[in-house]
């Protein structure tokens, strides 16, 4: 009786897992070569021999594009989600753990670090043009500045890095422009490659995991066992690694499927608008965009649309604890 009820309750979960496994295996087994377009059969409706899901206005087979698009999803959204969560979790736990007053540095380190960040931001273009040499040069200059300052008495005075305020400020700055518009603007500066898109999405989407992680860290830090461990003489790093993270990382892990689904939505929207991945990369969004050229080709909406919706729904279902 009990066993039957549990299996009945779990079948949507099984379906969601099954669908995601299907998408993942399709992505892994997908042929990597691009087929020459079948120009004799452009805009062909589905359920006909040779192209059983139809073709798009360029004569590409929809089924093949779907499978190859799954690979793109896997290769772009998964790394982007992992990067997003790592970045968010890192910054969030720094902000929550050290707060505004507890990250003690000397003034020399503070000034040198600020100078490094400022000049890296201001002179991004000439630095990028020089590549590794420019980066190492800048780092060396900052290190020299820090060393010189450290020789003075003023430079050796303690100074607290306002980590919490810095991270909170960054979050406010990033959240004040809608995500799609921000990504659109940055993508306009330089048409991103697949790797660039991953980086861009991670750099703009980390705010929510960071907020969650900050709250969780603040909560965990208040526990008495953390106080006990601190009194026992553990360093900040050991506290964070052995006593805070084991409690806080589930918060971010639960968020993982949701982040993946969010990034899939963003990536397909960008491809649909034609600013995302390079044009020769097969993608579900690009396939859907074909409907703008042939508005009556319903198969260009239904197949990729249903695949996309099922994938996102499965991911969101898995991230929900109970429903």
The least distance separating another protein from the CB of residue 300, rounded to whole angstroms, comes to: 9
DSSP state of 234: -
- What element of type H or E holds 104? strand 104-106
Asked whether 90 and 212 are in contact (CB, 8 A), the reply is no
Partners of 104 in beta bridges: 160
Q: Is 248 in the site for another protein (CB under 8 A)?
A: no
The least distance separating another protein from the CB of residue 39, rounded to whole angstroms, comes to: 25
Q: Is 131 in the site for another protein (CB under 8 A)?
A: no
Give the residue with the Cβ less far from another protein, 159 or 298.
298
Provide the mask over 17-56, with x wherever binding to another protein is found by CB under 8 A and - wherever it is not.
Answer: ----------------------------------------
Question: Phi, psi at residue 158, to the nearest 5°?
Answer: -70, 150
Q: Is 312 in the site for another protein (CB under 8 A)?
A: yes
Footprint of another protein on 158-187 (CB under 8 A): 172-173, 176-181, 184-187
Nearest CA to 210 out of 84, 25, 32 is that of 84
Contact with another protein (CB under 8 A): which of 39, 295, 321, 322? 295
**Long-range residue pairs from 293-301, CB within 8 A, at least 24 positions apart, any chain:** 293/57, 294/43, 294/56, 294/57, 297/43, 297/45, 297/54, 297/56, 297/57, 299/45, 299/46, 299/53, 299/54, 299/62, 300/54, 300/56, 300/62
Tokens of 323: 């429903």
Give the residue with the Cβ less far from another protein, 40 or 188.
188
HSE of 248, CA atoms in CB hemisphere, 13 A: 32
The least distance separating another protein from the CB of residue 182, rounded to whole angstroms, comes to: 8
Partners of 160 in beta bridges: 104
Burial per residue of 174-200, b for 16 or more beta-carbon CB atoms within 10 angstroms, e otherwise: beeeebeebbbeebeeeebeeeebbeb
**Which of 16-24, 151-159, 231-239, 304-312 is the region at the interface with another protein (rule: CB under 8 A)?**
304-312
The least distance separating another protein from the CB of residue 203, rounded to whole angstroms, comes to: 12
Contact with another protein (CB under 8 A): which of 58, 279, 292, 293? 292
DSSP state of 37: P
Q: Say which residue the tokens 């929207």 belong to.
A: 269
Give the residue with the Cβ less far from another protein, 121 or 231.
121
Contact with another protein (CB under 8 A): which of 15, 24, 168, 313? 313
Tokens of 301: 């909406």
The least distance separating another protein from the CB of residue 234, rounded to whole angstroms, comes to: 36
The least distance separating another protein from the CB of residue 191, rounded to whole angstroms, comes to: 9
Contact with another protein (CB under 8 A): which of 91, 244, 288, 318? 288
Contact with another protein (CB under 8 A): which of 28, 35, 117, 273? 273
Contact with another protein (CB under 8 A): which of 189, 231, 233, 322? 189
Tokens of 318: 């898995």
Footprint of another protein on 56-95 (CB under 8 A): none
Nearest CA to 65 out of 281, 312, 305 is that of 281
Binding residues for another protein (CB under 8 A) = 119, 121-126, 128, 172-173, 176-181, 184-190, 261, 265, 268-269, 272-275, 285, 288, 291-292, 295-296, 298, 301, 305, 308-309, 312-313, 316, 323
């Amino acid at each position: 009786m009990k066993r039957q009820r549990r299996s009945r309750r779990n079948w949507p979960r099984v379906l969601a897992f099954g669908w995601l496994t299907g998408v993942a295996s399709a992505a892994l087994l997908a042929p990597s070569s691009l087929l020459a377009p079948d120009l004799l059969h452009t805009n062909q409706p589905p359920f006909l021999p040779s192209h059983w899901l139809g073709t798009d206005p360029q004569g590409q087979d929809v089924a093949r594009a779907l499978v190859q698009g799954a690979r793109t999803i896997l290769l772009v959204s998964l790394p982007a989600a992992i990067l997003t969560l790592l970045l968010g979790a890192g910054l969030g736990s720094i902000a929550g753990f050290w707060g505004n007053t507890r990250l003690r540095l000397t003034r020399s380190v503070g000034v040198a670090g600020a100078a490094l960040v400022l000049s890296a931001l201001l002179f991004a273009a000439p630095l990028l043009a020089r590549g590794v040499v420019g980066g190492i040069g800048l780092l060396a200059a900052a290190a020299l500045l820090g060393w010189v300052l450290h020789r003075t008495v003023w430079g050796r005075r303690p100074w607290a890095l306002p980590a919490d305020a810095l991270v909170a400020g960054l979050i406010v700055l990033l959240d004040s422009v809608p995500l799609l518009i921000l990504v659109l603007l940055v993508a306009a500066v330089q048409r991103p490659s697949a790797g660039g898109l991953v980086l861009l999405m991670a750099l703009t989407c980390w705010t929510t995991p960071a907020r969650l992680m900050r709250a969780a860290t603040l909560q965990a830090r208040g526990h008495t066992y953390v106080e006990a461990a601190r009194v026992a003489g553990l360093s900040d790093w050991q506290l964070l690694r052995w006593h805070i993270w084991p409690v806080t990382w589930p918060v971010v892990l639960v968020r993982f499927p949701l982040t993946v689904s969010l990034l899939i939505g963003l990536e397909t929207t960008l491809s649909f608008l034609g600013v995302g991945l390079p044009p020769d990369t097969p993608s579900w969004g690009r396939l859907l965009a074909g409907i703008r050229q042939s508005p009556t080709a319903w198969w260009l909406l239904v197949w990729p649309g249903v695949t996309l919706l099922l994938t996102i729904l499965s991911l969101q279902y898995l991230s929900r604890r109970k429903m």
